[in-house]
Amino acid sequence: MKNLFRILVVLFATVNSLSAQNNNLLINAYNRKTTSLNGPWKYIVDPYENGFYNYRYEPFENQSNPGKAAFFTNSKPDNKSDLVEYDFDKMDNILVPGDWNTQKENLYYYEGTVWYKKSFDYDLKDANRAFAYFEASNYQTDVYLNGKKLGRHVGGFTPFNFEITDIVKPQDNFLVVKVDNKRIKDGVPTLNTDWWNYGGITRDIKIIETSKNFIQDYFIQLAPKNNKLIKGYAKLDGEDIANKRVSISIPELKIKKEFTTDDTGQVSFEIDVKKVKYWSVNQPYLYDVTIETAEDKITDKIGFRTIETSGTNILLNGESVFLKGISIHEESPSRHGRGYSKEDAKQLLQWAKELGCNYVRLAHYPHNEHMVRLADQMGILVWEENPVYWTISWDNESTYENAENQLSELITRDKNRASVIIWSMANETPTSEARNSFLNKLAKFTRAKDPTRLISAALEQSSYNGSNTIRTIHDPFAETVDILSFNQYIGWYDGLPEKCSAISWKIDINKPVIISEFGAGAKYGLHGDKEERWTEEYQEDLYLQTLKMLDQIDQLKGISPWILVDFRSPRRVLAEIQEGWNRKGLISEQGEKKKAFFVLKNYYDNKKTE
């Protein structure tokens, strides 16, 4: 038994160390040559992980001869006497992308391992390379092609890829993916959350084909303190990438510059510009940008804008802006499972625009790339969040590495999106010395990786000098962030809506304030007195009282109430009201607008943006 425990500890440590390694992530999968692997896949539910471990609980993949029992070998009997206790091809289908919880009734609450298998042909050009690219898979994912391990990824909401150039064949390939969505104490997020733990390959999967030496990464943005200077870098990947010509072209700005890579295949550049149409919420202008080498060419649509703070103001292109926002979970408005399609994203953002928003908070984890691409086009500012939520294992180094890796993958993917203005480090994390050290280290990493955006987090609030009616922010991490943000639920978890009239805030730190959450639950169509919980009238009154209260905060520069649409949560079990849904949405899961929706819309319609 002790030996088994040691094996499990070593395996878990290995998992976490592997999860922090993804330095070759390809960006801009939108505009590369791709082949979709979406559609029906075969699947096997494996709660005991029989297809991964032998009877000694040793991973088959670590054995020199794993045998046919390992599911990733996709084995078939050689003769009628051969014993193989699984057959992918005889199993049911499941759709990818998609969560298994809402596709299969018997997997609704399932947490554990599911194996996926897809057979395909692929004709790779001799001079090219190929990568299996996953937009996301929740939570721990082991990937095998034709029986060979490609790698492991930990984290449920960020992209990852593995090279398959030397393994993929013209015919009869089989891709086997082990997905395990079990919640773990040292994970990111940890065991306890307030959203549904959707399992599976939840976003697109594709093969990206590149040239032998290709443009892997690039960063092209305005310099933070100089709106007449475009700064950035481009990074090549391959065996022959030193001293190579890289051109940056923006035809509308009459820019075509050439640079030469260093010994590592990277080039940094600065380009002076005279007249730029700055991206803004009223004019979300995007330029066609081309990065090109002798072997590769990639295009993107990029907006140029500056975002900074000055005292208590948030400045977009040097002008003060008030963030009229809403928080959003990544659930499909039509399928009621994990959202993944462009149509899902468009519906959510259109509802936000109808509400009068110029800003959305994507909670509590990275959403799919469609959201930020569409926000670029629609003129919506975006807060993106790392899933450091509630009570993370602050002292565990592998937990920090996991959090940093997920944030790194998010920044790598979205750093060229003009709409993204805030990287959020965490949500509602109780203060402690270990927590403060964890978050400060994360913020330092973020600023080094992307100095062009603001940093925030949903901070802790407290009473001011023991007062029952005056609140403040007394959170050490407030000294680090650019924007002071906090969640408050006066009138729902703290008294009734009438309490709002007695509360005020005294904040001594000279920074802008965003109320990252407030709200109340209401079931659509349930009506009654405004003091009766769960009625639309209660939620409506709370919004009326809360907005009056918040307008008294001098430093207030934005709000993102909780939340746009009702979403699934296992924590919410009240019969006839919740039934597995968090009811704080302004819109029901069926798309029906509650009375509070129109209260907030009226507030935004009459609120000056600047």
DSSP letter string, 223-261:
ETTEEEEEEEEEEEESSS-TT-EEEEEEGGGTEEEEEE-
Ranges of residues in the chain whose predicted pLDDT is under 70? 1-23, 610
- Residue 1's contacts (CB-CB under 8 Å, 6 or more residues apart) are none
Cis peptide before 255, with omega less than 30 degrees from 0?
Answer: no
pLDDT tens-digit map of 455-492: 999 999 999 999 999 999 999 999 999 999 999 999 99
Cβ atoms 328, 352 nearer than 8 A = yes
pLDDT value of residue 23: 62
pLDDT value of residue 21: 43
Quick check: helix, strand or coil at residue 2?
helix
Q: Can you tell me which residue has the tokens 């081309």? A: 290
Quick check: helix, strand or coil at residue 64?
coil
Lookup: tokens for 183: 């919640």
pLDDT value of residue 2: 37
Find the distance separating the first CA and the last CA of the chain, reported in whole Å: 65
Quick check: helix, strand or coil at residue 34?
strand
| CA distance linking residue 314 with residue 6, whole number of Å | 52
3-state helix, strand, coil in the chain (%, to 5): 20, 30, 45
pLDDT value of residue 67: 86
pLDDT value of residue 56: 72
Decide: residue 83, CB within 10 A, 0-12 exposed, 13-18 middle, 19+ buried: exposed
Cβ atoms 235, 265 nearer than 8 A = yes
| CA distance linking residue 456 with residue 105, whole number of Å | 39
Residue 372 φ then ψ, to 5°: -80, -30
| CA distance linking residue 481 with residue 439, whole number of Å | 10
| CA distance linking residue 541 with residue 412, whole number of Å | 42
Cβ atoms 147, 173 nearer than 8 A = no
Nearest-CA neighbor of 147 among 78, 85, 88?
88
HSE, side-chain direction, 13 A CA sphere, residue 31: 18
Quick check: helix, strand or coil at residue 327?
strand
List C-alpha distances in Å: 307 to 97, 165, 571: 34, 41, 37
pLDDT tens-digit map of 36-87: 999 999 999 999 999 999 877 788 988 888 889 999 999 999 999 999 999 9
pLDDT value of residue 114: 98
